[in-house]
Amino acid sequence: MILKIIVCVACVQAVAVGVVSGKSLLLQPRHPLPFTADQAPLIARIGPHDARHPDSLHHHAGHVSSSFSGRHGGKGSVDGCPLCPASHEISPCACRCLNDTAATIECGPELASCSQLTEVMSLNSYPVNTYLRLVVADTNLACKLEKALWGRLVFQEIEIINNMFQALDNRAFQPFSATLTTLNLGGNTLQDVYFSTLSDTPLLRFLTLSYNKVDFLPGYSAMTLPLLETFDASYNKIRKIIAETFAGMPRLQKIDMSNNAITKVYARAFAFPQHDASSLVVNLSNNAISSIEPGVLEGVRVCTLDLRNNHLINLPEAVYRPIIDFTAASAIFWTNNNPFDCDSHFCWIATNQTVSGTFNTVLCPNLGNYPVEVITPMCSILPNTTTPRYSRSRGHPAHPAPFRKSQVSTAVRNLRRPFLRRP
């Protein structure tokens, strides 16, 4: 109670002093915080998740604008916040205290230029130099993300979202090498990205590049991020995934590459020499994938692979069986909406319940969209067709043993199993 009254009095004084002199002694931190390495324990306590940190870009936009309206006085005015400079100094950006130890700096549409951003970052009046989060959102700016953009401040989370930024330069985030855990660059026009520079921020746990124009990801462990849990590059223009793109990220739990232009996934694209997370979800849905090489996913004990809405014609045993075996059949493959041409190549799935259990229902557009189990009767009358020659069936699968139409229609007519119905 007494504390509340003191805080209230401080608010009133801050406003009054601010109005009278334009400068307030009360803006000095009550307990000056140690900077640099001494602050590490403090940083560790401040996690990347908070209630004001929703995933969706739309929510981000709302969040930013509401914080801007919040900064103009009224109850909870930030002017009493010991971690922030006076609001007129940092304008057009805003500084906001979340509590005694965490504050954010947020810049919105009022930000007029990239040099203005650098000016704001370089002010001398920041009471501390480590902030929980920097937000630059909803501007028309096309700044290059480079080291020279920043001042002396460091951040644990950076959200540069819904702008027109195109390029990410070498060493762009190096100043944050000891602090950065979350980097969200969603909703820009990034294309020219110096990916290996991401290895400069080894504490990174969440990386979002969604809704950009990225068309290439480097392989061979060019990105080494020992703590990264989420890699989100959905809604870009990526065309292929090459070997060892993620091999330097042993803690990954989620890779979202949905809604790209991927046509081919190369061997070892998702190879993890030392995967060290409880599970991995790889989302490749809504691409144009027609070819996946054997050995695509290695070293993961529990995984889900979302392949919905692609251009797959076959599900080669050589690609999926090793994954099923390595995961002790706990793997889950989602395959809806692919133009499967179900023939004897699918017998290895249709005739083994352990295998078919890892695939959510495989539907066969060439057989009236029935589940793949419809071919089971033919698998027994065509011996030795369950081991086709995979080297030939990669890419454009050959069809050495197609079923005769009459066989299939007889099988379909004879269906008695209740779960086999047209979707």
Ligand X SMILES: *[C@@H]1O[C@H](CO)[C@@H](O)[C@H](O)[C@H]1NC(C)=O
Could you tell me the two tokens for 150? 């920043």
Stretch that binds ligand X, among 145-153, 165-173, 195-203, 277-285 (CB under 6 A): 277-285
Q: Are 300 and 378 in contact (CB under 8 A)?
A: no
Q: Are 212 and 165 in contact (CB under 8 A)?
A: no
Rounded CA-CA distance 103/134 in Å is: 9
Q: Does 102 bind ligand X (CB under 6 A)?
A: yes
Scanning residues 331 to 350, which ones bind ligand X (CB under 6 A)?
none
Q: Of the candidates 98, 178, 261, 412, which one interacts with ligand X according to CB under 6 A? A: 98
Could you tell me the two tokens for 347? 């017998």
Could you tell me the two tokens for 176? 């944050």
Nearer to ligand X, 258 or 393 (CB): 258
Q: Are 85 and 184 in contact (CB under 8 A)?
A: no
Best CA proximity match to 312, nearest among 338, 346, 294: 338
Binding residues for ligand X, how many (CB under 6 A)?
28
Q: Does 258 bind ligand X (CB under 6 A)?
A: yes
Q: Does 324 bind ligand X (CB under 6 A)?
A: yes
Q: Of the candidates 286, 290, 314, 385, which one interacts with ligand X according to CB under 6 A? A: 286
Question: Minimum Å distance from CB 144 to ligand X?
Answer: 29
Nearer to ligand X, 147 or 301 (CB): 301
Question: Minimum Å distance from CB 47 to ligand X?
Answer: 5
Q: Does 317 bind ligand X (CB under 6 A)?
A: no
Question: Minimum Å distance from CB 207 to ligand X?
Answer: 17
Q: Which residues have a Cβ under 8 Å from the Cβ of 60 and sit 6 or more positions away?
A: 54, 135, 137, 159, 161, 162
- Beta-sheet strands, E only, within 279-404: 280-283, 291-292, 297-298, 303-306, 332-334, 363-364, 370-371
Q: Does 106 bind ligand X (CB under 6 A)?
A: no
| Sites of contact with ligand X (CB under 6 A) | 45-47, 50, 98-102, 132, 234, 258-259, 281, 283, 285-286, 304, 306, 321, 324-325, 329, 352, 354-355, 383-384
